Structures are given as structure tokens and as C-alpha cells.
Amino acid sequence: MDKKILVGKRLLDRDDIESICTTIAKQLDAKFENSETLPVVVGILKGGAPFMCDIVRKMKTIVSIDFMSVSSYSGTKSTGELKMKMDITTDIKGRDVILVDDVVDTGLTTYYLVKYLKEKRGVKSITTVFLVDKPAKRKFDVPVDYYGLRYEGEDYLIGYGLDYNNLLRNIFGSEYKLL
């Protein structure tokens, strides 16, 4: 790593994340309790995996789980280009999809995935869920159906799935500033 990492203030602690996951799980249960098909929860690797797993564990609705891997970042900056690294294997045509990711900032990833899942995979509906919503950085108009924390700051956040160059995802609930 070529940058110094300064520990900043803790934005979310374990109790906060537990509460966020419980709340969102209940909201998703209420939304999909009368769904004609089993919803498919799609976690966006790698950052969305811890958050998705914690939400799914709390849901009472029976769901199918799958993962996608896409990337638009190099270090702390979006490249503006999205690369699909791994597509889902589940047949989702005509099904409700719950898309779970760690953060929505520029909206590039969400814009691309929503368009792809609707146009190429023929989903019935898409519900988006994010741990962190950073609207100040938004460049694309994307749906943000559920989120745990709205963050107006410019700091680069890490921990609980959020990373810097694929590192520091395991740090829990902290904010780090990169110099």
C-alpha cells in the first residue's frame, strides 16, 4: 500500500450494524411476503457480501442467494468504466431481485447492474439495498430503496466490506482517511 492510513471516527459500531440489518430485513420481509416467486438476493462481491449475509440471516422470507462481481474502482477513485468479473448463475427471468452492495456513491455500478438485470436477464423487479449511501458523489440517477447510513462526507470509508484496493474489509465499523 502506497498511502498512509489514518484512523478516523467510527461511523457505525456493531450495534448500529445489527440494528440496520434487522430493520432492512423486516422491511424486505414485508415487501416480499406475498411475492408470487421466491426473491433472489444478489450480493455484489466482494464488498456487499458481509452486509448481504447479515441481512439474509435475519429475513423470514425464503430467498435464493447468488453473487455478482463487478468493479469500477482503482484505489480510491472510480475509473468510470465497469468490468463484469462474475455473473450470477441463477435463472432470474421474471423474478424479484434484491441487489445488495456495500456503498452507492457515483451510481455507476448500480446503474449498470439495474440496466443489465432488466434488459439482459428479464427480472420482474429490482430492489436495491446499500450499507452506505453517498449522494454527494452521485453521477447517475439510480434507485436507492434501502440504506443503512447516508453519508454526506467526502472521506473514503473502509471496513465491514468496504475496502481500499481489496484490503481492510475486515476492519469493523471504522472510518479511515487515506493520505
Residues recognised as catalytic? 105
8 Å CB contact between 44 and 101: yes
In angstroms, rounded to a whole number, what is the distance separating the alpha carbons of residues 72 and 29? 31
Calpha distance 25→70 (Å, rounded): 24
Q: What cell numbers appear for 127 in the block?
A: 430492489
The Cα–Cα gap between 67 and 71 comes to: 13
DSSP state letters, 17-86: HHHHHHHHHHHHHHHHTT-SS--EEEEEETTTHHHHHHHHHH--S--EEEEEEEEEEETTEEEEEEEEEE
The whole-angstrom separation of Cα 72 and Cα 53 is: 23
Do residues 111 and 139 lie in contact, with contact meaning Cβ atoms separated by under 8 Å? no
- Whether the upstream peptide bond of residue 46 has omega within 30° of 0, thus cis, is yes
